[in-house]
Amino acid sequence: GQQLNQSPQSMFIQEGEDVSMNCTSSSIFNTWLWYKQDPGEGPVLLIALYKAGELTSNGRLTAQFGITRKDSFLNISASIPSDVGIYFCAGHDNAGNMLTFGGGTRLMVKP
Amino acid sequence: EPEVTQTPSHQVTQMGQEVILRCVPISNHLYFYWYRQILGQKVEFLVSFYNNEISEKSEIFDDQFSVERPDGSNFTLKIRSTKLEDSAMYFCASSRRTTTGELFFGEGSRLTVL
């Protein structure tokens, strides 16, 4: 099946620092999405990207859909303690109904 | 704000027992999903459901699993004879459309098989 490689697996940063994480795939996706999962809860959609090359912002979050449609990155600027959680990239190929998730990036923010 | 609700939040069961996990999707959504997350691992697709039938399922979703929409609001996942490796967090999700991947997830049901 399709695989998404997400890196880094974890990050431990100081409050106020910027964060960058990315996802790569061996196959093409038509939609890239970024979800955040807080402890004990389900994933919550942060950003959805629909077009190759698209750059989208949501507050302090910025994500880009790679030109090749095989990668995406998520940046978080000026991190705050509530940014703590696990961030998952996900790809959707429109051919089916399923999302393929990356392995997640665990973000820890030191106040 | 509308949300997907799941019950129970945690279920402990003996190996070989049947388990039913329940979900109430967002009311105007038409597409329903179950995903699974083994502790510390990524979220994995199990099954999607539309128009009262399964539209897609993964290799994980074998004959031990079934889904049902018994009425206009509930969506259930049944595991007929649980195995130790079924221990995981099970997430229900729903969406208005199937073409974008914009899913709304519930908070999950943690299943522990002893």
What's the pLDDT tens digit per position in A29-60?
999 999 999 988 899 999 999 999 999 999 99
Condensed to tens digits (0 to 9), the pLDDT of residues B72-109 reads 789 999 999 999 999 999 999 999 877 777 899 999 99
Mutate to test the interface with A, among B6, B45, B92, B98 (most CBs of A within 10 A): B45
Q: Which two tokens stand for residue B10?
A: 């945690």
| Cα A55 from chain centroid (whole Å) | 13
Q: Give me the residue from A31, A40, A41 closest to B101, CB to CB.
A: A31
In whole angstroms, what is the distance from residue A17 CA to residue A59 CA? 15
Q: Counting every residue, how long is chain B?
A: 114
Q: Using one digit for the tens of pLDDT, what is the confidence trace for B47-59? A: 999 989 999 999 9
pLDDT over 70 at A1, yes or no:
no
B44 to A88: CB separation less than 8 angstroms, yes or no: no
Q: Is residue A86 within 8 Å of residue A34, measured between CB atoms?
A: no
| Paired tokens of B49 | 């459901």
**Residue B66: pLDDT band by 50, 70, 90 thresholds?**
very high
Q: Which three-class secondary structure state does DSSP give residue A21? A: strand
Alpha carbon of B34: minimum distance to chain A alpha carbons (Å) = 10
